[in-house]
Structure 1
Amino acid sequence: MSPLRISAGIAAFGLATLVLAGCAPAAAAPEPTTEPEATAEALAPATITVYTSEPQAKIDEVVAAFNTVQPNVTVEVFRAGTGDLTTRVATEQASGGIQADVFLAADAGTFENYAADGLLRELEPADIDAINPDVVDPEGFYVGTRIIPTVIAYNTGIITEAPTSWADLTDPEYADRIVMPNPDVSGAAAYNAAVWLDEKALGEKWMTALAANRPVIADSNGPVSQAVATGAQPVGIVVDYLVRELAAQGSPIAVAYPKEGVPYVSQPVGIFADSDEVEASQAFVDFLLSAEGQKLAVAQSYLPVRSDVGTPKGAPAMDEIAILSPDVQKIRATQDAAVETFRGLFQ
């Protein structure tokens, strides 16, 4: 099978993005407005390792904010795309033991697999009742930390009439003008492929028609958003927070939420079963879900998983977005096949 069609310029940008471990400059962390976390009992000195797909600048902000609450906990971070992270976990598991304590990455399907294999311990989040129940694993092994929809982005200097649906992207007028992430690299893109194929209004017929427009396949969401912002490709399929960040920086880029509905990932977090630092790891999870942690997520342009912290500037409320929420178990079971279908069509 021939390789996916990847623009050399975008591929190079994607490599640089991975090396620099960031997609776009992160928003500044918010000034604390409350002090409840400051009263949390300080833990004894401990070191935890976090594997994450978060952009480096953003996870650095998270760690810094966490350390204002738990100054004795050292957080070591390994950052990579979800696909690379799962490969690393599998390699470590086969060679004697997973080296991470906490996993914070893109899609619930990965966590479902880990839970089924006994790799995760049950969580005991401190403020779980405040969390959107749609992002909470009913069995308690993981919980979402932010809402990240995949949307249509477009360059406002090139596109005068924004596409309003996924179906619009199959119109011949968008031939050779679309860019989207590679599901072999991006966990969110792999999840999206399965969701699209599961959706009756879309399915393989839509995906085949989209492929006929010959989209450029970039490594991940970061290079996709940059390609749209620069006009290299005027339309992109990408996570929404990157569009907000670039627009805030002055780029000619805007977002459209397709009327058929948008797939989303919730950047779940979980603790590996063989972690030696359970208390410190649980404290890190608790911080991510706390009001202060979620205010930081909002400042970083994410939609939050709790309703008492506001939303990013320019972002719609969740009840204004049509959301595709398929059965997670079904998506988990079909995701590998969906990625294979994607490879076969977008070659």
Structure 2
Amino acid sequence: MTALLRYLARIGLCLVAMAGFAAAKENYRFPAVGQESAVLTIHASADISAIEPMIRDFQQAEPGITVDFTDYLTNELYDLLSAQCAGGEKMADIVISSSVDHIAKLANDGCAQAYDSPNTNRIPDWAKWRNEVFGFTFEPAVIVYNRNLVPAADIPRTHHDLAELLRAKSELYDGKIGTYDIERSGIGYLFAFFDTQQSNIFGRLLESFGRSRATLRCCTGELLSRIESGELLIGYNLIGSYAYGRYKAGAPIGIVMPRDYTLVLSRTAMIPAKAGRTDLGRKFLDYLLSSRGQSVAVEKSFFFSFDRPVPEGVDAVDPGAGSGVYRPIMIGPALLATLDQQNRQRFLAEWKASMERD
């Protein structure tokens, strides 16, 4: 056990027992830039490289606030918040997650408090629910490929293209495709669930992934690293903001927003019903939704926007072309269907059966 704990420490994970289960988390503390007057606590599922520019800019506007930020895997964050809410425990001041279905479920279960301000009224209707759940990013599900190793003729620009590529060049791409393990990744499950509602091509894609022995991983960062190194050649349904961050940093990857349809989620924020400091949670939420916060999000953190052009270097249809390509995942009660246990078990069984095909 001692050796195992040393190994976990080396890779930056911390195991904690909380509410009867163990959760992997990473904690970061951002000291106030001025005289500390308060500590804002954020529990999230968000890469620190993406959220840090926003935290630091927030602190320029609020120099007396120290920020304590803890990052979890999506499923573990949901389990933690559910247990805290059920037990009436004190919770973080604000919660952020890419798994919008999890946040919608928490709100539906009475674990969120409502907030209304000029900034909460700025965002599109599809990106908020009951003044309790607020989307603050525009994040497409993209196809990522290694620019040095994938021939130009092989670049898939639609879901159909990807399925056909894996059929026509099965030997070349055998073991070289990566996507989320939807049993472990909340965002992976969400994307896969909504894929099935857009087109019947997803069934063919699953069969192709199974035949190609697709690599399944929990997290966008790990899949991107494997594509960047050439261990994988193509990644499917990855979060576009994280991929673009790697692209901007010089990684040899290309990014495609599929031209038949592109799922779009809005990373969500929620002020818990038992927030320790509701006033601080509201202050940070207002920052996220403000013009200033949105500008930082687009320029330094998440790169895509509700109302700006697609970033340079991304292969995509012009969002202003009226093509109907972009399919936002609406935040609302319909998301609860993704967490229905019977639906989930049936969907996972079908997914695993496809992935296990010879």
TM-score (norm 1): 0.79
State the 1:283 CA deviation: 0.7
Match of 2:176 in 1: 177
**Residues 127, 286 of structure 1: 8 Å contact kept:** yes
CA distance, structure 1, for counterparts of residue 327 and residue 112 of structure 2: 27
Q: In the TM superposition, what are the counterparts of 1:231-270 in structure 2 within 5 Å?
A: 231-237=230-236, 238-270=238-270
**Residues 104, 335 of structure 2: 8 Å contact kept:** no
CA distance, structure 2, for counterparts of residue 50 and residue 71 of structure 1: 17
State the 1:96 CA deviation: 4.4
**Residues 228, 234 of structure 1: 8 Å contact kept:** yes
**The 10-residue stretch of structure 1 (79-88 or 320-329) with the greater mean CA deviation from structure 2:** 320-329
Q: Provide closer, same or farther for how the CA distance between residues 233 and 17 of structure 1 changes in structure 2, counting only shifts above 3 A.
A: farther
1:281-324 alpha-carbon deviations (Å, 9 max, x no partner): 111000011111111111235245553x7764435664368222
Q: Which amino acid in the other structure matches residue 277 of structure 1?
A: R
Q: Is the aligned partner of 1:145 residue 2:136?
A: yes
Q: In the TM superposition, what are the counterparts of 1:117-156 in structure 2 within 5 Å?
A: 117-137=109-129, 139-156=130-147
Match of 1:319 in 2: 320
Q: Which amino acid in the other structure matches residue 110 of structure 1?
A: H
CA distance, structure 1, for counterparts of residue 269 and residue 184 of structure 2: 19
Q: Which amino acid in the other structure matches residue 232 of structure 1?
A: E
Q: Is the aligned partner of 1:190 residue 2:193?
A: no
Find the residue that maps to 2:254 and give its secondary structure: strand
**Residues 298, 310 of structure 1: 8 Å contact kept:** no
1:192-214 alpha-carbon deviations (Å, 9 max, x no partner): 11111222333434423432322
Match of 2:160 in 1: 167
Q: Provide closer, same or farther for how the CA distance between residues 123 and 344 of structure 1 changes in structure 2, counting only shifts above 3 A.
A: farther
Q: Which amino acid in the other structure matches residue 227 of structure 1?
A: R
Q: Is the aligned partner of 1:226 residue 2:230?
A: no
CA distance, structure 1, for counterparts of residue 311 and residue 301 of structure 2: 5
State the 1:18 CA deviation: 5.8
The CA RMSD measured in Å over matched residues stands at: 3.0
For structure 2, list consecutive stretches of 5 or more residues without a partner in the other structure: 1-6, 15-23, 27-35
Find the residue that maps to 1:48 and give its secondary structure: strand
Match of 1:283 in 2: 283
Find the residue that maps to 2:274 and give its secondary structure: coil
Q: Is the aligned partner of 1:346 residue 2:355?
A: yes
CA distance, structure 2, for counterparts of residue 190 and residue 269 of structure 1: 19
State the 1:76 CA deviation: 1.4
Q: Percent identity?
A: 19
Find the residue that maps to 2:327 and give its secondary structure: coil
For structure 1, list consecutive stretches of 5 or more residues without a partner in the other structure: 1-11, 23-43
CA distance, structure 2, for counterparts of residue 220 and residue 156 of structure 1: 21
The structure where strand makes up a greater share of residues is: 2
Q: Provide closer, same or farther for how the CA distance between residues 17 and 339 of structure 1 changes in structure 2, counting only shifts above 3 A.
A: farther
Equivalences, count: 313
Find the residue that maps to 2:313 and give its secondary structure: coil
